[in-house]
Amino acid sequence: MQIQRPSSLVDQVSAILRKRILDHDYQPGQRLPSESELAKELKVSRTTVRTVLTKFANEGLVFRKQGDGTYVNKQAKEIDNHYGSSWDFSKLIEGNGYTPSISTISLDSLPATEEDATLLELAPDSEVIHIKRLFSADDEPVIHVTNIFPKSLLNLEVDQIDGNLPIYKIVENYFNQELAYVVSDIQATLAEKNLKQTLFREEGFPLLKLIETFYSHDHKPLILGVSYYDFTKLKLKLVQSWKK
Amino acid sequence: MQIQRPSSLVDQVSAILRKRILDHDYQPGQRLPSESELAKELKVSRTTVRTVLTKFANEGLVFRKQGDGTYVNKQAKEIDNHYGSSWDFSKLIEGNGYTPSISTISLDSLPATEEDATLLELAPDSEVIHIKRLFSADDEPVIHVTNIFPKSLLNLEVDQIDGNLPIYKIVENYFNQELAYVVSDIQATLAEKNLKQTLFREEGFPLLKLIETFYSHDHKPLILGVSYYDFTKLKLKLVQSWKK
DNA sequence: TAGTGGTCTAGACCACCCT
DNA sequence: GGGTGGTCTAGACCACTAC
């Protein structure tokens, strides 16, 4: 594998090493070559290698022992695919070993409710777009998502929206903006009648409810998301590592 | 403020800048001094300052604009205190503006169930300790936690365990080990009878259920946790930032 | 003692934003 | 053009672990 510039060395080294780990070129539990060796092999500085390994260690992909070495986490594959490792429910489903599919339930332009206007920092009665979609794993519905965003951000007509795009692509393509972070509020709820048809759950069955606000780099709320998540079919897993 | 060695420069700079941000010495939305200025003021290299700011940017505490500057996130306070920012339910409660308290419900030594033995990588029928505790916010119970761990790890008698200690302290003090990361599985459930007395919720009320496995640096599972979380009283918030 | 990761520096050069 | 963050280097020294 040859390093090519441009496109950040860190990103390239990152991609190469991540691939080696996930492909088991470096076996789970095995010790990686030392930082200096990797630097030499990839023809970058040790600092660059360290930047990547530090990132991996934060993600939990590897762990390091001073005076000993850097080891591949046995749970590497699992950790590479938890909630929060991507914006994209499709990827989450895929990473859990299922075939994802998306169907668009509805696409409407409505006046914003007071609450939505507040959350999106809009003038009252601004028009907002509602997209309701259903994510399925192996054709079993697992997540019902409603996304809400100001019509004013759109750079095309509502009916031209491609409902199969992941949320960050919608922002990139139709808003000409970029997502920076999400704040998710996680709640529990009971399946309601209107969800019954879509998630195929009897009324009263417990579901997870995720209330998400997606922000741009300059902290403008761009999109709201309200999702109903069937955790019995798809695990909602978090990985947290210790930070001082 | 004077920098003192030893104890990593990065940690010290981290603490100083975090304090300034949370104390609003740097106002929300305001631009920080440039990296070079901070380096000069704190008498460290720009690299050290960058390490800290990169960490902050990952946490979402600040955001950076190339060619412009580094800005304090307006949601800094909120972001500094989400689920996953600490191991410690008490701190989570405190950060949400309540006074936390813990009561120990029970402390038992039992033979491990098959499932627990598997999860903890133990021989069947090993003895495990169960600690049931209740975390309250302003005297309202909000989280009911059962922690399970092998008796063999304990370096003292069961009845000497201090039930007020946070989980990572228990590991440090009684196991002579250190927690590295947690995998949490988030589910929804309905309040059951035995929880009614503790969380003061009528039967059938939806609660969050967190199933956590705490690992050491060498990936040994040390402790299991099963928690029932009343999200109506205490928000379970996650913050995720974009990573390539 | 040799080799590993952990910390830190000083400085180069680039890409980008503002005025 | 001047200042900011983004990237990258080469190298020093320390702390720790294994042998």
DSSP line for A115-141: HHHHHTT--TT-EEEEEEEEEEETTEE
Name the residue facing B239 among A55, A183, A244 (closest C-beta).
A183
B 4-63 → A contacts, CB under 8 A: 11, 14, 29, 55, 58, 60, 63
Residue (of A46, A51, A45, A52) closest to A21 by Cα position:
A52
Token code pair at residue A199? 């998630």
As a whole number of angstroms, the longest Cα–Cα distance in chain B is: 62
Tell me A31's DSSP state: B
Q: Answer whether residue A5 shows pLDDT above 60.
A: no
Number of C-beta neighbours around residue B237 at 10 A:
20
Q: What's the confidence (pLDDT) of residue A3?
A: 44
Task: Tell me if B63 sits within 8 A of A219, measured CB to CB.
Answer: yes
Q: Answer whether residue A190 shows pLDDT above 90.
A: no
In single-letter form, the type of residue at position B116 comes to D
Report angle CA B76, B141, A231 to the nearest 5 degrees. Answer: 70
HSE of B40 in the Cβ direction (CA atoms, 13 Å)?
A: 5
Chain A hits for B186, Cβ within 8 Å = 83, 186, 208, 231, 236-238
**pLDDT tens readout for residues B181-220:** 788 889 999 887 776 666 667 777 889 999 998 888 767 8
Token code pair at residue B142? 């909000």
Q: Answer whether residue B4 shows pLDDT above 60.
A: no
Q: What's the confidence (pLDDT) of residue A33?
A: 92
Chain A residue closest in CA terms to B10: A244
Task: Tell me if B243 sits within 8 A of A185, measured CB to CB.
Answer: no
Q: Provide the CA A6 to C1' C13 distance, Å, integer.
A: 14
Cβ contact B157 with chain D strand, < 7 A: no
Q: What share of chain A is helix, strand, coil (3-state, %, to 5)?
A: 30, 35, 35
Tell me B230's DSSP state: -
Q: What's the confidence (pLDDT) of residue B3?
A: 44
Q: What's the confidence (pLDDT) of residue B110?
A: 93
Residue (of B212, B200, B208) closest to B228 by Cα position:
B208
Q: What's the confidence (pLDDT) of residue A1?
A: 45
Q: What is the mean pLDDT of chain A?
A: 84
Tell me A152's DSSP state: G
Distance CA B212, CA B62 (A): 29
Burial B4-21 (b: 16+ CB within 10 A, else e): eeeeebbebbbebbbeeb
Cβ contact B69 with chain D strand, < 7 A: yes
Chain B residue closest in CA terms to A28: B219
Contact A238 B238 (CB under 8 A): yes
Q: What's the confidence (pLDDT) of residue A174?
A: 87
Chain B hits for A187, Cβ within 8 Å = 206, 208, 231, 236
Tell me B30's DSSP state: P
Task: Tell me if A126 sits within 8 A of A112, measured CB to CB.
Answer: yes
Q: What's the confidence (pLDDT) of residue B138?
A: 93
Q: Quick one: average pLDDT of A27-44? A: 90
Interaxial angle between packed helices A35-42 and A46-59, expressed in degrees from 0 to 180 and rounded to the nearest 10: 120
Tell me A158's DSSP state: G
Q: Which of these ranges, A133-147, B65-79, B223-237, has the smallest mean pLDDT? A: B65-79
| Helices and strands of chain B, counted as H and E runs | 8, 9
Name the residue facing A181 among B168, B208, B241 (closest C-beta).
B241
Token code pair at residue B91? 């701190």
Q: Report chain A's C-alpha Rg in angstroms.
A: 21
Q: What's the confidence (pLDDT) of residue B5?
A: 44
Cα dihedral sign for B157, B158, B164, B165?
A: positive
Tell me A68's DSSP state: T
Q: Provide the CA A189 to C1' C6 distance, Å, integer.
A: 46
**pLDDT tens readout for residues B138-176:** 989 999 999 999 998 888 888 888 988 888 888 888 888
The residues that bridge with B104 in the sheet, in sequence order, are B133
Q: Provide the CA B68 to C1' D7 distance, Å, integer.
A: 17
Alpha helices in chain B (DSSP H): 9-22, 35-42, 46-59, 76-79, 89-95, 114-119, 167-170, 193-199
Distance CA B171, CA B161 (A): 11
**pTM (2 decimals)?**
0.82
Whether the bond between A6 and the residue before it is cis, its omega within 30 degrees of 0, is yes
Number of C-beta neighbours around residue B120 at 10 A:
20
DSSP line for B150-195: EGGG-SS-GGG--TTS-HHHHIIIIIS--EEEEEEEEEEEE--HHH
Cα dihedral sign for A142, A148, A151, A155?
A: negative
- Which protein residues have a C-beta closer than 7 A to any atom of strand C? A 32, 34-37, 47, 50, 53, 64-70; B 5, 8-10, 43-48, 65-68
Q: Which of these ranges, A52-56, A231-235, B73-77, B78-82, has the smallest mean pLDDT? A: B78-82
Q: What is the mean pLDDT of chain B?
A: 84
In strand D, the nucleotides that come within 7 Å of a protein beta carbon are 2-12, 15-18
**pLDDT tens readout for residues B58-117:** 777 888 888 889 998 877 777 777 776 667 888 888 878 899 999 999 999 999 999 999
Token code pair at residue A84? 């929060």
